[in-house]
Structure 1
Amino acid sequence: MQVKKRTVLAIGALASVVAAGTVAATAAIPDPVEQGFTKERSAELAAQVDPSKPRNVILIIGDGMDDSMITAARNYEYGAGGRFPALDALPFTGAMTTYGLKVGAGPDYPIAYVSDSAPTASGWSTGKKTVDGRISQGPSTAAAVPGTNYETVLEKFQAQGKRVGNVSTAEITDATPAAAASHISQRACQSTTNAAATCPSETKGQGGPGSISEQLVDHQIDVLLGGGKDRFTTPIDANPATTTLAYAQQQHGYRLVENTAQLAAVTSLDQGPVLGLFNGGNMTPMYQPLVASAAGAGGPTTRCEEADRGAQPDLSLMTEKAIALLDNDKGFFLQTESAMIDKQEHASDICGAIGDLKELDETVAVALSYQEANPDTLIIVTGDHAHSTQIIAGNADDGVQRATVQTADGDPMSVAYSTNAVGSDHTGTQIRVAASGPQAANVTGVIDQTDLFLTMLGRTPSVLPGPGEPGDPDPLKPAVSVVAGASRISLADLRRRGLPVAVAASGGTTVTVRLLKGSRTLASKKVGASGGTVRLKTRKASKGTVRVVATVTGAGGSATRSDTVRVTKR
């Protein structure tokens, strides 16, 4: 049978995903030893392309997670022919550049080919490049001179009325989680004490936004979970007799949880936002350390040993709870970070890094489970920068520091660290990015981490091809996206002018747009097969929340997406 060639037309930045050899994508990968890559997967991948805007976004970060570290952890846990059950099953995969800028006169700043976590996390958070040490704030003439604050994805979603969450196995004030919802010139300004010493002009006492810990709670993030309690127990400027933690509880109504049992007891956000601080500093990694040395640590039969983490929850448990608390009709944004990959790589601790990468895979599985029931959820998994962990032959002269462990294959695997005489550091190589869900195809090819900003916010939906030719046994699955032209509208405007609505659709023959109050239809219109714009007018509405629902139906089935609007008296 002749296979029809189908193309995907890109509007905005949606990548073409059907040309053979141009898609770095993986489906549910069979065991390469037993089965090999014998299945032609173009149709399988095409069926997973969804150009609609996501309602929910879950961004999962492996700090310092590059392909070398992924491979080392995979070899250890599953063997050379194995695959991570969740991370390696994401359908769309690409490569991502991570360079930053250096301070200077501007407006053209010198390139920093190797960056730290502050500018890299700021890159996807704001869509803009910045300099080392800077948190969601633009470059400037010198490190001590604050730049321009850039609005973040989390802040944009929060302004839309979506719930927001921030989870990390590091101190929650560390650079990667800090970039989601704070703006400061020095990443070290994590507490009021740090800020007074390191960035005094940005303290609240000097009219600034305050330290990272203060800014995180001032943003009233719905769910904050991680380590770093010590960053919240320092006295604040305005009242030295109280602390940031007391301020968070008294002024913003945060509920403090400090262990797994207390976290489990929180079942909703009705009583206020949640601040989970499970350790004074960074949280404890899954495995006990195995630190590389010049003489070589470990050996051919060395296996990593479980660490005692006491009552601390792991990343997958924190993420599962965060999703459950954030889940709502309007949608949510969640950033969750497996931070100790990077921390333990800096320490040349191969077991610690492997354990946190395994935790990341378990966290991806949690997100995919939620996505299965909520397909309008975009999941993106990536790192912030590369590191110097390298799998080597294991010779005595390989690397400055070496360690050897026994993998799931039963064979020895040696790794080396060569950037520092003791410990290791970042590198400037590109890293993996993978995704699943609406607009996930945007991560394919080679992108920059700033591109994630628009993908998470939702780009202008692409127009996919319609259903196949008559008699096609495998028509395309319909897809639809709908956006209301306003987040609120008065009863008078809804009656006279109507609510403007934009719809993009593909793969169908019939597209219907309805205005609903509960299950009651207030207005309904049809648009063309590829979508269009309409105004929904009604005299049946009353004050409160209504939903705009678009449904596309075709030979390949149907798809529905919705948006919410607040109807006011005036």
Structure 2
Amino acid sequence: SSACSTHNDIPIIEQMLDQNVDVMLGGGYNLLAATVREGSTVKKKAENLGYTVVTDRKSLFDLNYGTKTLGVFSNGHMPVEWVGPGGKGADFVKVDDNRVVIFPNAAACELNPDHKGTPRLEEMSKFALESLKNEGAGFFLMIEGASIDKQAHIAKPCGTIGEMLAFDRSVKMAVEFAKEHGDTAVIVTADHGQATQVIYKPETYDGSPIRRDLIPGLYQLLLTRGGHELGVYYGTNNINDQAHTGVNVPIHTYGMDNAYSLMGVIQQTKIYGAMKEFLFN
């Protein structure tokens, strides 16, 4: 799709419908009633183009694979699978009268009750793969762990971690699909880095107290399944709106005809050419 901003939801979904995309699954229930150029709604336009519109997990699972599907399962963004202790994210550390840091007690991430009843990322991925696998000319499927980024922006590490695990399960499913069916490539990458840094409690090395100045950003101390402390820090902004970073991002592939085509340090635009070569040559 082409739009001046990623916030231009209506033009983007209109273009995707007009491009005759076979399967679209995610959030955005609130957009179904929005008016499109023809004067009808997004929902009506989709139905006129042959889409079955579903809005809950059960309705998705009731469909036959191969159904042309528009699935929207939440108002706005999909709810994340994990939240922080008590629903909280990172915050400024507390200090005593001498500005010495009082570290919080480590606490475990929690399941998000708002996620109940919505399909998981790997479930949507399976539906899409099973629906597309018999396409004679091949297919392209994009699976995005979108809230890995969104939760980092608002300094909520448990949200990021839970969505990363959901994405990891989807990648595993995609690789297993590629192994079973052959002639299928899996490419895993990111479009930018984020502010989330996994650190332990800061140290001064000379044994002096940890003062507030050493932790100027937002910090949260989590407890892992193994009972270990996991410190997470955000330092790109002193409010919750954390920024992207300019780090190199990894790229992993499976099943490419040329295993060396996407190795080392590359321009991100090279990925398009590699996918085009695989699909059409």
Q: Which TM class, normalised by the smaller chain length?
A: 0.7 to 0.9
1:254 aligns with 2:73: no
Counterpart among 40, 55, 61 of residue 264 in structure 1: 61
Distance 2:142 2:103 in 1: 35
One-letter code aligned to 1:187: T
1:384: Cα distance to partner? 1.1
Query: Hey, which of these two has a bigger chunk of helix by percent?
Result: 2
Counterpart among 232, 238, 241 of residue 421 in structure 1: 238
Asked if structure 2 preserves the Cα contact closer than 8 Å seen for 1:385 and 1:426, the reply is yes
One-letter code aligned to 1:351: C
Q: Provide the secondary structure at the position in 1 that maps to 2:144.
A: strand
Q: Provide the secondary structure at the position in 2 that maps to 1:415.
A: strand
Name 1:276's counterpart in structure 2: 71
Q: Provide the secondary structure at the position in 1 that maps to 2:143.
A: strand
The residue correspondences of 1:486-505 to structure 2 (distance < 5 A) are none
1:422: Cα distance to partner? 1.1
1:346-389 CA-to-partner distances (Å, cap 9, x unmatched) read 01001000000000110011101111211211001111100111
Asked if structure 1 preserves the Cα contact closer than 8 Å seen for 2:34 and 2:41, the reply is yes
Counterpart among 392, 401, 424 of residue 218 in structure 2: 401
Distance 1:337 1:214 in 2: 20
1:298: Cα distance to partner? 8.9
1:353 aligns with 2:129: no
Distance 1:294 1:261, change over 3 A: same
Asked if structure 2 preserves the Cα contact closer than 8 Å seen for 1:298 and 1:403, the reply is no
Distance 1:399 1:441 in 2: 42
1:310: Cα distance to partner? 2.5
Asked if structure 1 preserves the Cα contact closer than 8 Å seen for 2:216 and 2:238, the reply is no
Distance 1:411 1:300 in 2: 12
1:84-133 CA-to-partner distances (Å, cap 9, x unmatched) read xxxxxxxxxxxxxxxxxxxxxxxxxxxxxxxxxxxxxxxxxxxxxxxxxx
The residue correspondences of 1:333-352 to structure 2 (distance < 5 A) are 333-352=140-159
Q: Provide the secondary structure at the position in 2 that maps to 1:281.
A: coil
Runs of 4+ in 1 over 6 A off after TM superposition: none
Q: Provide the secondary structure at the position in 2 that maps to 1:381.
A: strand
Distance 1:246 1:298, change over 3 A: farther
One-letter code aligned to 2:21: I
Q: Higher relative contact order at CA 8 Å, sep ≥6: structure 1 or structure 2?
A: 1
Counterpart among 28, 43, 47 of residue 245 in structure 1: 43
Counterpart among 415, 430, 450 of residue 269 in structure 2: 450
Distance 1:369 1:237 in 2: 41
The residue correspondences of 1:124-143 to structure 2 (distance < 5 A) are none
TM value normalised by structure 1: 0.43
TM value normalised by structure 2: 0.85
Asked if structure 1 preserves the Cα contact closer than 8 Å seen for 2:93 and 2:103, the reply is no
1:215 aligns with 2:15: yes
1:232: Cα distance to partner? 3.0
Q: Provide the secondary structure at the position in 2 that maps to 1:275.
A: strand
Q: Which has the larger radius of gyration?
A: 1
Asked if structure 2 preserves the Cα contact closer than 8 Å seen for 1:344 and 1:353, the reply is yes
1:233 aligns with 2:33: yes
Distance 2:224 2:117 in 1: 29
The residue correspondences of 1:37-76 to structure 2 (distance < 5 A) are none
Name 2:199's counterpart in structure 1: 392
Distance 1:310 1:392, change over 3 A: closer
Q: Provide the secondary structure at the position in 2 that maps to 1:351.
A: helix
1:312 aligns with 2:112: no
1:484-526 CA-to-partner distances (Å, cap 9, x unmatched) read xxxxxxxxxxxxxxxxxxxxxxxxxxxxxxxxxxxxxxxxxxx
Distance 1:432 1:377 in 2: 20
Corresponding residue pairs, total: 257
Q: Provide the secondary structure at the position in 1 that maps to 2:65.
A: coil
1:245: Cα distance to partner? 1.4
Distance 1:440 1:215 in 2: 34
Distance 1:256 1:226, change over 3 A: same
One-letter code aligned to 2:27: G
1:457: Cα distance to partner? 1.3
Distance 1:369 1:347, change over 3 A: same
Distance 2:55 2:143 in 1: 18
One-letter code aligned to 2:188: V
Q: Provide the secondary structure at the position in 2 that maps to 1:444.
A: coil
The residue correspondences of 1:79-228 to structure 2 (distance < 5 A) are 182-191=1-10, 211-228=11-28
Q: What's the C-alpha RMSD, in Å, of the aligned pairs? A: 2.1
One-letter code aligned to 2:158: C
1:442-480 CA-to-partner distances (Å, cap 9, x unmatched) read 2211112101001111269xxxxxxxxxxxxxxxxxxxx
Between the aligned residues of both structures, percent identity stands at 30
